[in-house]
Structure 1
Amino acid sequence: MIPSERRDFIYRHVHEYQLVTIVALAELMSVSHMTVRRDIHQLEEEGKVISVSGGVRLSDALRQELAYKEKAQLHHRQKRAIGKYAAAMVEDGQVVYLDAGTTSFEIARHLAERFNLTVVTNDFSIIQHLMNRPQLNLFHTGGRVDQRNFSCAGSSAAMLLRTLNIDIAFISTSSWDLEHGLSTPHEEKVLVKQALLDVARRKVLVSDSSKYGKYGMFRVCPLTALDDIVCDAALPPDALQQLKERGLRLHNINL
């Protein structure tokens, strides 16, 4: 691997396992410990990771999201379970919004077998998957294309959403917690998510627990602006307690 490939590998691996040792990374990439330390130092200077004794963890301040293909390789079981559960929340005849992301794609897989639904999304992978399902009404938001995430974002996508009435919106995120609420490292995503908050009757966050405790530069909304949170059961106990105290409908899925 060249240095940039190694750093991408480390960043992806830390996303999946949260805390990784230098010994493990050196073995996985067949390089020296010193090489791994140099790569970690570079990632740390970019604000992506934090060095700990003998290893590295993801920074709480999220500077950059993984590309769609890389995200699709992580946390399969959690995303599949969340997708199945969330799809069961949809009622016949509803207008459903699926936010861009690999968890939303799992919802789409289950909705593909349903009838009498209208699906709105900014995600090209979801549209492609549902394209051969003539029983569904499909709308794509359009807008500025984000090649890394196979989706559209920005003011044009938000403008289209503001012309619609959405019954239930499944909102994805790369980072959320009690202090910062829903956030993102990418400014153009804020407009789309905030438009959804205005036009959707029911707003549901779908996220696996690995994204909890992270925050991006751009704030979307406090968690209290949401109606439901669908997540796996691995959230920290103190977070579970505080979410319940704030009256949020938290759907914990045991795998």
Structure 2
Amino acid sequence: MLSANERRDFIYRYVHENQLASYNDLAELTNVSHMTIRRDVQILEREGKIIRVNGGIQLSALLSQELPWQDKSYLNHKIKKELGKFAFSRISEGTIVYLDAGTTTFEIACSIPDNFSVTVVTNDFSISRVLMNKPGVDLFHVGGKVDKRNYSCVGLSAANFIKAQNIDLAFLSTSSWDLKHGISTPYEGKAIVKQTVISVANRNILVSDSSKYGKYGFYTACPLSSVDEIITDSISGECKKSLKDIDSPRITFVDIF
């Protein structure tokens, strides 16, 4: 039997993965009564994590916190893998590339061939671990305050390290983005890092699956017009409809089979 905190964590992860959850499903999955589920939902709603809809719950558009790296890595993994492979095609040998902390940018790192000659700067420990085993990669890891939930370095110290780098191409990640709020995050330390990267890189590309579109965090890192290209999937009709008529940045929809 899950504790109350474990049960609410499960509910939040489940809604992240499925976008919508009914009270019946949640009661069955957690083996508790409908009354208990409704109490859990009230707490999660007060925390700003979910909103109630008819017969169930869905994620709040306002992202109050992100899931831990390990949990995020399981969400839409096939889509992230395909986006990572496609994004790698934008990298030329002999260039300096920044890979932002994230589970989609992690897939870009995994797509780099062992003997591909490139310099990579990253603030993500998981990305560094993968790239340390690739002989062709000259690797620089950004220091600073460690975000233990997301295996990354964030904040002013990380931003100051990045300021001194000459970056040809930066791949940015996010858990929330839309036309109104741009690229956003619940965490100030992450926003500072993204803003700094955008200011020093010659070219910036956002790589994010469409399930994150329509959500926003408290801190805006930048408007979408600050990046040169957005690479996403074509699964979300809302995302595709909202972005199809904008002139800048360039939008690339990757078909997922």
CA distance in 1, matches of 2:239, 2:207: 20
Aligned Cα root-mean-square deviation (Å): 1.3
Name 1:150's counterpart in structure 2: 151
CA contact (8 A) 2:115 2:134 kept: no
Shift of 1:179: 0.5
Show CA shifts across 1:156-207 (max 9, x none).
1111111111111110001100001111100011111011111111100011
Paired residues, what number? 255
Question: Is 1:232 aligned with 2:233?
Answer: yes
- Hey, what's the Cα distance between the residues in 2 that align with 1:36 and 1:10? 9
Give the Cα–Cα distance (whole angstroms) in 1 for the partners of residues 27 and 113 of structure 2.
43
The offset of 1:248, in angstroms, is 2.1
Pair 1:168 & 2:169 matched: yes
TM-score, normalised to structure 2, is 0.96
- Please name the residue that 2:255 is paired with: 254
CA distance in 1, matches of 2:246, 2:134: 42
Matches within 5 A, 1:1-255: 1-237=2-238, 239-255=240-256
Report the residue type matching 2:210 in the other structure: S
**Cα distance in 1 between the residues matched to 2:100 and 2:244:** 23
Output the CA distance in 2 between the equivalents of 1:228 and 1:149.
25
What is the rounded CA distance, in whole Å, between the counterparts of 1:200 and 1:249 in structure 2? 17
TM-score normalised by structure 1 residue count: 0.97
Amino acid at match of 1:188: G
- Report the alpha carbon displacement of residue 112 of structure 1 after superposing the two structures with TM: 4.2
**Residues in 2 aligned to 1:169 and 1:245: alpha-carbon distance in whole angstroms:** 22
Tell me the CA shift for residue 30 of structure 1: 1.5
CA–CA separation in structure 1 for the residues paired with 2:115 and 2:254: 22
After TM superposition, give the deviation of residue 113 of structure 1 in Å.
Answer: 2.9
1:25 and 1:114 map into 2 onto residues whose CA distance is 47
Runs of at least 5 residues in structure 2 that lack an aligned partner in the other structure: none
Query: 1:237/1:58 Cα in 2 relative to 1: closer, same or farther (>3 Å)?
Result: closer
SS where residue 250 of structure 1 aligns?
A: strand
Counterpart Cα distance in 2 of 1:76 and 1:22: 26
Partners of 1:112 and 1:130 within 8 A in 2: no
Q: Gaps spanning 5+ residues in structure 1: where?
A: none
